[in-house]
Structure 1
């Protein structure tokens, strides 16, 4: 049975009925370099030509600034497939991207230990 609003492509029991690579037309590499923490935001430019329903979902999600990881989680797609979709939208001017801004050194040992400790508590 399909979940509300998901159309025929998702099934509660079976999961996604379309393979992720079909969403990106078989492409496995984005045209631009995107980090999982890269920030994206819609520009308001309407893409010319046909884009899939996932592209429309991405534009809706990116009305506010979001990361690549957040978009992938909302779409329930692998990060690499999501990056291909995002690069399509950046290429046509519908999205802007900027690298992540760190307020802390991402390789700071204390920060990494705190993250590890938090993950251990979740398991």
Structure 2
């Protein structure tokens, strides 16, 4: 017996993930799972087609989510999210905030771990 779908009202995605990235599997920029992504102010004025995935990413990134959170919220594979985010970074619509370094504080590390866990749980 198969388990019930936890979200029975979710629409089936008929588009294969690789078609969203034109078959590409590598992002154009380095995007660690925990990297926070933020919308560049000028991106808010760009007109995107209705229901465009790029527009959804731009909207999500106003609150600086991690790459993992973006993938989970859009319900797309992590590799697809990385490619799409990378394209938007290269296009000047998003910016990547640096992740932890050797000089990062304990609070920064705890914050990052919390954000990453929330993103993974959402998957």
Do the structures match in fold with TM over 0.5? Answer: yes
Q: Decide which structure has the larger Cα Rg and report it.
A: 1
Write 1 or 2 for the structure with the bigger share of strand.
1
Write 1 or 2 for the structure with the bigger share of helix.
2
C-alpha separation in 2, matches of 1:19 and 1:41: 27
Gaps of 5+ in 2: 1-7
TM-superposed deviation, 1:45: 2.4
Gaps of 5+ in 1: 1-10
TM-superposed deviation, 1:65: 1.1
C-alpha separation in 1, matches of 2:33 and 2:88: 16
* TM-score scaled by length of structure 2: 0.67
Work out which structure has the larger RCO, using CA pairs closer than 8 Å and 6 or more positions apart in sequence: 2
Q: Which residue of 2 aligns with 1:97?
A: 96
Structural RMSD (CA): 3.3
Q: How many residues in Structure 1 have an aligned counterpart in Structure 2? A: 99
